[in-house]
């Protein structure tokens, strides 16, 4: 679906067709949920923040002027909701077992189970676990920048728009976050 489709759906919603919002939720909920989950590492929190973000977006839809894409605008709401929720909680609660969620990805990548592959899979999983744990030790803002740029392939301009920072700030933060992540992983080895 293109942005124009989103614009049409938004127009329908603003004209009073509340149920059309379901299309946007179906389209973007998984994307937003995964983005939040990667930052807060807690499934329940991520679900709650995703719900809150969509509810907030619905009631702020009048303010959406279409200057950016709807998804970028939604990301921005999700980003702000995540930051404020996590700051209120003051600490992260990791109910999600890190082993469990790393194995989700591995299951996708490995189809056959020869001995070599199983060994490689174990090494791979351990390594990914290290990276994810290192990511969790970074600041929320750093995690956001790394996740958005490297895992969600967002441009610097998009990240700047979502986080409300200027381009040079995002570049600097990206550079520093990368360094910090490398250092944390090095120290953990």
Partner 1 sequence: MDSNNNTLQNNEEVKLLNELQHSFELKLPDNFTDDIMKKISAKSALLSRVNPKIKTGLIILYFVLSICFSFLLVFLLKIIGLIDFDIVNWVSSTIESGYSSLNVSKNITTVNQFINSGFGATFNYLTSIFHNTFSSVLTLLSQTLTTVKIFTSQNSLFIMIILDIAILLFFYHLLITTNNKRISSR
Residues that bind partner 1 (CB under 8 A): 18-19, 21-22, 25-26, 29-30, 33-34, 37, 43, 47, 50-51, 54-55, 58-59, 101-102, 104-105, 108-109, 127-128, 131, 135, 146, 150-151, 178-179, 181-182, 185-186
To the nearest whole angstrom, how small is the minimum distance from the Cβ of residue 155 to partner 1? 15
166 or 179: whose CB is closer to partner 1?
179
CA distance between the termini of the chain = 44
To the nearest whole angstrom, how small is the minimum distance from the Cβ of residue 124 to partner 1? 8
To the nearest whole angstrom, how small is the minimum distance from the Cβ of residue 117 to partner 1? 16
To the nearest whole angstrom, how small is the minimum distance from the Cβ of residue 107 to partner 1? 9
95 or 166: whose CB is closer to partner 1?
95
Contact 47, 85 (CB under 8 A): no
To the nearest whole angstrom, how small is the minimum distance from the Cβ of residue 19 to partner 1? 7
37 or 79: whose CB is closer to partner 1?
37
Nearest to 45 by CA among 21, 78, 74: 78
To the nearest whole angstrom, how small is the minimum distance from the Cβ of residue 95 to partner 1? 13
CA torsion sign, 42 to 48 to 49 to 54?
positive
Place of tokens 């610097």: 156
- What does the DSSP assignment read for 93-162? ---S-HHHHHHHHHHHH-----HHHHHHHHHHHHHHHHHHHHHHTS-HHHHHHHIIIIIS---HHHHHHH
Length of the chain: 189
Q: Cβ-count burial of 189 within 10 angstroms (0-12 exposed, 13-18 middle, 19+ buried)?
A: exposed
How many angstroms separate the Cα of 99 from the Cα of each of 2, 44, 82? 37, 17, 23
160 or 185: whose CB is closer to partner 1?
185
11 or 179: whose CB is closer to partner 1?
179
54 or 79: whose CB is closer to partner 1?
54
């Amino acid at each position: 679906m293109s942005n124009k489709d989103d614009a049409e759906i938004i127009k329908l919603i603003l004209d009073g067709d509340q149920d059309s919002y379901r299309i946007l939720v179906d389209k973007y909920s998984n994307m937003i949920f995964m983005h939040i989950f990667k930052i807060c590492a807690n499934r329940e929190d991520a679900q709650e923040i995703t719900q809150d973000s969509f509810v907030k977006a619905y009631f702020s839809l009048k303010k959406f002027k279409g200057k950016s894409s709807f998804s970028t605008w939604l990301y921005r709401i999700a980003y702000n909701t995540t930051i404020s929720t996590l700051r209120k909680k003051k600490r992260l609660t990791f109910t999600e077992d890190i082993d469990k969620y790393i194995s989700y990805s591995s299951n996708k990548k490995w189809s056959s189970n020869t001995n070599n592959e199983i060994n490689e899979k174990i090494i791979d999983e351990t390594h990914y676990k290290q990276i994810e744990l290192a990511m969790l030790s970074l600041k929320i803002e750093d995690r956001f920048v790394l996740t958005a740029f490297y895992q969600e392939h967002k441009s610097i301009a998009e990240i700047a728009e979502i986080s409300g920072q200027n381009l040079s700030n995002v570049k600097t933060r990206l550079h520093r976050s990368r360094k910090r992540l490398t250092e944390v992983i090095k120290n953990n080895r």
